[in-house]
């Protein structure tokens, strides 16, 4: 993989991947906490029934489009989700593509009883294991959802005008060369 261009070359400096990964993890934990509260309301049979569960699924799948720049968790830790080629913030479609598969296992909780819980845990565990494996395999913290949606999570102080285009993005290890691995 080529080295990322330096600011002297006219391109933005590469992001500190370790710090970015920690911030992404913190944001994910915050978003999962919100979803967990919604799932708990469903599990406790608070009036509204399945609506709480559906809100949790919607929050996880579409959370990056709820605010202008990313999920509430990402906003709290100073991150934004951008569409790389379009140089704009991720919208509803991008959010669904990058996050939908991780939210789907919660729908299995609509199957009442132990079977729903077992299926949700099994499918959710499988999705989590696959996502973790692929993220670690790539070595730079990019999720498979980012590859599918052509998105990137970057610090919120980086202006959209400085988001690298698809050719420069390869230098960060997230362009077409990633798909060839």
The Cβ of residue 176 has, within 10 Å, a number of other Cβ atoms equal to 10
Q: What ranges make up the beta strands (E) of the chain? A: 79-83, 88-89, 151-155
Identify whether the C-beta of residue 152 lies closer than 8 Å to the C-beta of residue 166: no
Residue 81 is predicted with a pLDDT of: 92
| Alpha carbon 68 to chain centroid, angstroms | 15
Residue 38 is predicted with a pLDDT of: 92
Identify whether the C-beta of residue 161 lies closer than 8 Å to the C-beta of residue 8: no
Reported residue count of the chain is 181
Q: CA–CA separation, 131 vs 104, rounded Å?
A: 14
Provide the residue ranges of all domains of the chain, joining segments of one domain with +: 12-170
Residue 141 is predicted with a pLDDT of: 64
Residue 138 is predicted with a pLDDT of: 67
pLDDT in tens, the chain (181 residues): 344 433 444 434 456 777 787 888 899 899 999 999 998 998 888 887 889 999 999 999 999 998 878 999 999 999 999 998 888 899 999 999 999 888 889 889 888 888 999 999 999 899 888 887 877 776 666 788 888 899 888 898 888 887 765 444 444 444 444 444 3
Identify whether the C-beta of residue 60 lies closer than 8 Å to the C-beta of residue 35: yes
3-state helix, strand, coil in the chain (%, to 5): 65, 5, 30
Backbone torsions φ then ψ of 20, nearest 5 degrees: -60, -40
């Amino acid at each position: 993989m080529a080295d990322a261009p330096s600011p002297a070359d006219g391109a933005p400096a590469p992001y500190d991947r370790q710090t970015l990964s920690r911030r992404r993890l913190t944001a994910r934990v915050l978003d999962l906490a919100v979803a967990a509260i919604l799932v708990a309301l469903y599990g406790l049979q608070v009036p509204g029934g399945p609506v709480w569960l559906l809100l949790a699924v919607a929050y996880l799948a579409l959370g990056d489009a709820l605010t202008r720049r990313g999920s509430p968790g990402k906003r709290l830790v100073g991150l934004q989700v951008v569409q790389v080629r379009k140089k704009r913030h991720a919208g509803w479609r991008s959010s669904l593509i990058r996050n939908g598969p991780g939210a789907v296992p919660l729908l299995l909780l609509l199957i009442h009883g132990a079977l729903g819980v077992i299926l949700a845990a099994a499918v959710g565990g499988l999705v989590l294991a696959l996502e973790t494996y692929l993220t670690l395999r790539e070595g730079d913290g990019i999720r498979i959802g980012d590859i599918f949606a052509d998105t990137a999570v970057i610090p919120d102080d980086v202006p959209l005008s400085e988001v690298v285009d698809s050719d420069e993005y390869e230098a960060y290890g997230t362009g077409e060369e990633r798909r060839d691995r």
